[in-house]
Chains A and B, each alone.
Chain A
Amino acid sequence: MNLESFLLLSLVLFSLGLFAVLAHRNLIAVLIGVELMMNAASLNLMAFNRFSVTDPVTGQVFVLIIIGLAAAEVAIFLSIILNLYRTRRTIDAEQLTELKG
């Protein structure tokens, strides 16, 4: 497989993640869409790292940083979801409208 096919795969994955974020009402499903988009970005970086970079360390470090940041993001997101569920008894994104103008 060449660089373009990897880019196409990550493009499809990113679009799927975007659709999940926009279409789902359950906040956990929205989080899963965000994870799909982050993985598409990681795959992109690894493909460029393999095919068009002379020093292959850079992309690998980049992807490791992305994985670490995703772990932090998921921890915060899940604690917010748990707190929401305890105080509002719902994790439906369309019922959380206190800040709606």
Chain B
Amino acid sequence: MELGVQYLFVALVLVGGGMAALSRHVLYNIVGLGISLFGMAGLFLQLGSPFVAAMQLLIYLGGITVAIVFAMMLSIAMTLDPPTRTPVKTGFAAVAALTFGVGLHGLIGTASFAAAPPAPTDAWAVAHIGSALLERYNLVFETLSVVLLLAIIGAILIARPDRRGDAA
């Protein structure tokens, strides 16, 4: 039962990733990304972290995917003709991705990972994440909030249509 659920999520991740990477139409790419993200959230749940799985669903699936759909609708990428792919470029991309994948697979085969003793179950509680974010990883947390603020301001500045005082 447990293993069946895991394989279901793995299949979702793989099918979604394949759709996102290989399809020609942008809308299919986005739907594939959504399926893949959903399966990934399920895998996070299986790996023992319901909080990260919920954040994956909320921010990635609910925020980022919807933002990409908005951008696609605003830039009318749907109604444009899908750009014709040159087989040379696709071939080189496939060769590069395959080389990377096979090489990294060989590296994983040579490495040996020490297995840690299983942590006590209460170490996975959300309260530990909260206290770690505000104590040990306080600097990272604050830096991330500054980065997000700068990203919002930068996105508004870049996407604003009329810029008075702009020489161009």
Which residues of A pack against B, CB within 8 Å?
1, 3-4, 6-9, 11-20, 22-23, 25-26, 28-29, 31-33, 35-36, 39, 42-43, 46-58, 60-61, 63-65, 67-76, 78-83, 85-86, 91-92, 94
Contacts and interface: CB of A to CB of B under 8 A. Distances in A.
A79 B155 contact: yes
B140 A61 contact: yes
Contacts of A83: 158-159
Given A9-B10, A25-B83, A46 B148 contact: no
Nearest to A40: B17
22 contacts: A13-B14, A16-B17, A16-B18, A19-B94, A22-B97, A29-B26, A36-B17, A39-B36, A46-B44, A49-B47, A52-B116, A56-B124, A57-B129, A58-B132, A67-B59, A72-B150, A75-B67, A75-B154, A76-B151, A78-B155, A79-B156, A83-B159
Contact of B71 (A42, A60, A82): A82
Nearest to B150: A72
Interface in B110-168: 113-117, 119, 123-124, 128-129, 132-133, 137, 140, 144, 147-148, 150-152, 154-156, 158-159, 161
A21 to B, nearest CB: 8
A80 B157 CA distance: 10
Contact of A13 (B17, B26, B137): B17
Interface residues of B, number: 83
B159 A23 contact: no
Interface of B: 3, 6, 10, 13-14, 17-18, 20-22, 26, 29-30, 32-33, 36-37, 40, 43-44, 46-49, 51-52, 55-56, 59-60, 63-64, 67-68, 70-72, 74-77, 82-83, 85, 89-90, 92-94, 96-98, 100-101, 104-105, 108, 113-117, 119, 123-124, 128-129, 132-133, 137, 140, 144, 147-148, 150-152, 154-156, 158-159, 161
